[in-house]
Amino acid sequence: LAPPAPPSAATATHCPYCSLQCGVRVGAAADGVHLEPQQDFPTNRGGLCSKGWNAGSLLGHPERLTTPMVRSVTGDRTSPFRPATWDEALDLVADAIRRSQGLHGADSVGCFGGGGLTNEKAYALGKFARVVLRTSAIDYNGRFCMSSAATAANRAFGIDRGLPFPLADIAKAEAVLLVGSNPAATMPPAMRVFEEGRAAGAVHVVADPRRTATAATASLHLQPRPGTDLALANGLLRLALSEGLIDEDYIERRTMGFGAVRAAVTRYWPDRVERITGVPVADLRRTIRVLGEARSAMILTARGAEQHSNGTDTAQAFVNLALALGLPGRPWSGYGTITGQGNGQGGREHGLKADQLPGYRRLADPADRAHVAAVWGVDPAELPGPGRSAYEMLDRLGTADGVRVLLVLASNIAVSAPDVRRVRDRLARLDLLVVSDLFLGETAELADVVLPTTQFAEEEGTLTNLEGRVIRRRRAIDAPAGVRSDLEILRGLADRLGLGHRIDTDPEVVFDELRRASAGGIADYAGITYRRIEDEQGVFWPCPEPGHPGTPRLFADRFPTPTGRAAFIRVLHRSPAETPDRRYPYVLTTGRITGQYQSGAQTRRHRGDAEAAGEPQAELHRDLAARAGVADGDVVELATRRGTARFRARVSGDIRPDTVFLPFHWGGATSANLLTSTALDPASRMPEFKACAVDVRRIGGP
């Protein structure tokens, strides 16, 4: 590292983790790297959570990969890794791609991306897949994260932007219903806007099967059974109708399709909703009065509501409720979803999804294909069609019509995919697994070729946060010798495949191309430049031309649908794919804890953080624990239809007595996803991470 520099000389960039993308300053210091929060960045205003404070410990980490690695015996994954030169590693991958595509066709090579990739990398990976590899096999881990809410928002509003208003607007809403979200643990600096709202008199209702740190701050905590939020939303809409709280004028002027929804929700009478959800009728009434009588109100959902086989319809039901109350487009009001991953929003805007091109253009739409093909300088007919969704691609790895050579960037699928034992088995069938990573994580350990890549403070680029604000990631320190950026890796492969001129390695050049590709699309970045982002603390898309101010708030006058109106869509409750029975009598749900992020590949390596070194605990209600003869700290075995896994029990009164909670940040034998279900939402293809049937058995004492 360079000699110590005062903090004022440090580079302004952003935390590498969640979608809040807190502003930080990073610079060299006598004892390593100095990282501190930006005081004036709007989403964190001087705050950071423990993940952000500890992110600097990954820079200069002793486990950091600094050279490509290949297996000592090619094709034998039991043989140890050995260091390789970049030329050797990239030649090996390019040869395998050519061989596989020659024998099995273009779609035998696939790409799996991640919501941590910058916009430039996400765009380049999508282009690499479609133009260099000409494969339809590309998707990303955002399919496991935001896809249900994105699908619902597109159906209703014609656009999918997590929050259609700045985060700060939450502080001004008189009422907030937060469903399946725990920002006090996942993004603590965001809690300031909730605290400011409550200090000003706002009433907050939190729906969560657990009494989380967020639920503990609310005026009212609803504890629905996992997988029943759709019935909760429909029940609230029925109550809004019966109590005269819907906004008839708004429905008439700004929406369509309410009649079918009105008819559908009549069957969600309060007693029935209480039976399905477990939420008392009195709490249902109180909630709808809070929302319906406030001058401004927000309904916010997150993964707790969305990661279900009915996740799209559940998000849709809350959108219906918001529309019926006349919220979207009203000041300090609306429906939003709280994105999880750092660039989960940008990742799906720029072509990482199996069915989408940059700018949210669709691969199945001829005009969309023609626009993007013109920017890429190819014939639209050469572009492949839509491919399989993330889990469906993984489940067919190594099969006759599946992917045989897989490139994985910014994703740890050997931990984060559902039924991960099965996915690890599928990965073992591949002819070649190539992983780009910072460390030898669980997926890299299974690979044939591992390529060391740059991390947040070593690279330039942009990300798009949970508000739709496009922000700048800036290089604060040099990457270790031997490490390359993902753009350089893609370019190195494209060179070897004879199409190097298609992939640029300068992030700003890639961003300018991305702007042209997105121009005129829904996620229009045409007017956004690196200079503007720096001058304006980020720019909100859509921003269709250089003089455009950006769009912090959507829907004030119209919705970006063909009619300008938002669409109600009739949705009906259906149970999770698995419900408790005699053999598996409880519900298993999964989620995040404060000190960890996603698969934990980075946060488990944080130095100086006790939680980083911890272990996952299964949270049980004291009544369930008593029935199973389990005491706090005992080892329990959890069994689902996928198999078993053992955890230490944490007994509390903060969870429903029929529900078990597991954090999903660990791999190996304590991976929560050894147990989770692969049931998919029919529209979004989101796996049902948040509900499956489970049994609990005591194994031993502490």
Chain residues that interact with ligand SF4, rule: CB under 6 A: 15, 17-18, 20-22, 44, 48-49, 51-52, 187-189
Nearest of 606, 667, 592 to residue 441 by alpha carbon: 667
Q: How many helices (H) and strands (E) does the chain have?
A: 22, 28
Minimum distance from residue 156 beta carbon to ligand SF4 (Å): 28
Query: What tokens were used for 346?
Result: 């940008």
Q: How far is the CB of 481 from ligand SF4 (least distance, A)?
A: 28
Cβ-based nearer residue to ligand SF4, 53 or 269: 53
Note the helical H segments in 221-334.
229-242, 248-254, 258-265, 270-277, 281-293, 303-306, 311-324
Peptide bond before residue 542 is cis, with ω within 30 degrees of 0: yes
Tokens of 103: 């024998």
Nearer to ligand SF4, 21 or 141 (CB): 21
User: 58 vs 693, which CB is nearer to ligand SF4?
Assistant: 58
User: 681: closest CA among 143, 153, 226?
Assistant: 143
What backbone phi and psi angles, to 5 degrees, belong to 137? -85, 85
Between 16 and 164, CB nearer to ligand SF4: 16
Task: Supply the minimum distance, in Å, between the C-beta of residue 52 and ligand SF4.
Answer: 2
Q: Are 573 and 234 in contact (CB under 8 A)?
A: yes
Which residue in this structure is represented by tokens 């960890």?
596
Give the span between the Cα atoms of 578 and 555, in whole angstroms: 38
Q: Which is nearer to ligand SF4, 341 or 389 (CB)?
A: 341
Residue 176 or 190: which CB sits closer to ligand SF4? 190
Q: Residue 43 or residue 316: which is nearer to ligand SF4 going by CB?
A: 43
Rounded Cα distance, 440 and 62, in Å: 12
- Cβ nearer to ligand SF4, comparing 15 with 446: 15
| Nearer of residues 303 and 422 to ligand SF4, judged by Cβ | 303
The answer to whether the beta carbons of residues 284 and 273 sit under 8 Å apart is: yes
Least Å from the CB of residue 445 to ligand SF4: 25
Write down the H helix ranges in 302-443.
Answer: 303-306, 311-324, 344-349, 366-376, 390-395, 413-416, 420-428
In the complex, least distance from residue 18 CB atom to ligand SF4, rounded to whole angstroms: 3
Measured from the CB of residue 603, what is the shortest distance to ligand SF4 in angstroms? 9
C-beta closer to ligand SF4: residue 188 or 226: 188
Q: In the bound complex, what is the minimum distance in angstroms from residue 33's beta carbon to ligand SF4?
A: 15
- Is the separation of the CB atoms in 414 and 427 below 8 Å? yes
> Taking the chain, what is the end-to-end CA distance rounded to the nearest angstrom?
44
Residue nearest to ligand SF4 (CB): 52
| Smallest distance, ligand SF4 to C-beta of residue 454, A | 18
Residue 690 · residue 226 · CB < 8 Å: yes
Residue 358 to residue 368: CA distance in whole angstroms: 9
